[in-house]
Structure 1
Amino acid sequence: MLKPFIVTTITSNENGISVFTETDFEVNQRGGMFLTEQIASKNFRIRKSDVGYETDFHLSGDPTLIIMLKGTLKIELQNGELKTFSAGNSFIAKDNLPENVLFDNKIHGHKASVIGNETLEAIHIKL
């Protein structure tokens, strides 16, 4: 049995609270490669953010795969849990609210900040 490709994911629980989870992508061996099935995407963007950049608490909106190329991004949840992502890391942001819940920046979402002394460069792929 091949090990799946595991990606850290920011998602929402049943109350619309952002949590870290993991998404497993099954892989198949093809020659000397281990590949997932094709994953549909809508578009991609190339991102740069200066050292010191930070956001307020927000939701991701559309699910987005972020692939870190340079720099370090800290993601913090409302409960104080945090993870950092640097060059070579990736994660999926797909936290969102149920239809009947209004966003409250003291309860919902995650915030991001560029830490360290290097400009952030990343690729955002809308899934």
Structure 2
Amino acid sequence: MTTFTKVILYTDSDGYARFKEEKIELNHGNEKSQLSPCLNAQSLQLRHSPVGFTSDFHCTDKPQWLFVLQGIMEIGLRDGSTRRFGPGEHFYSADTLPAGTTFDPHIHGHCSRLIGNDPLITAFVRN
């Protein structure tokens, strides 16, 4: 069976952001067009980030899919690791601040920046 790899940015039990992957089965449709089950979506928001874009460490306020339409986005984690996403790539951003926790800039969240000389165009889909 064909699957789609869902890349997930999440908050681990120790409060640090990490990446993991999970498979979504494409078990609907037919042999020419394999589909996942319908996934709920609440809203779509588009973003343009100019050349030179960077962000400080932050948490996602509500889980959402992020799809890169143009440019290269680099996500940095507190452990120093990074992961880059280019046009057509995605991740599910779910690194929310744990309930009852105050943001600690030395533990929580991720940072992001644009790599290269093209503006970054992204689409956020909230469910």
Identify the TM-score tier after normalising by the shorter chain: over 0.9
Determine whether 1:38 maps to 2:38: yes
- In the alignment, which residue of structure 2 is the partner of 1:116? 116
- Correspondence for 2:47: 47
Question: In structure 2, what is the equivalent of residue 11 of structure 1?
Answer: 10
- Residues 3-31 of structure 1: per-residue CA shift (max 9 Å, x gap): 32102110011122100111321111412
Q: Which moved more, 1:26-35 or 1:73-82?
A: 26-35
CA contact (8 A) 1:9 1:93 kept: yes
Q: Aligned runs of 1:50-65 on 2, under 5 Å?
A: 50-65=50-65
Cα distance, 1:61 vs. partner? 1.5
Tell me the distance in 2 between the aligned counterparts of 1:13 and 1:64.
17
Post-superposition Cα deviations, 1:51-106, rounded to whole Å, max 9, x if no partner, equal 11111100111111111111010000000110011111111111013213221111
In 2, Cα distance between the equivalents of 1:80 and 1:3?
33
The within-5 A match list for 1:95-106 is 95-106=95-106
Q: Which runs of 5+ in 1 are unaligned?
A: none
Matches within 5 A, 1:12-27: 12-27=11-26
Equivalent pairs, count? 126
Identity %: 29
Can you give the 5+ residue segments of structure 2 that lack an aligned partner in the other structure?
Answer: none
Task: Look up the match of 2:92.
Answer: 92
- Which aligned segments of 4 or more residues in structure 1 are displaced greater than 2 angstroms? none
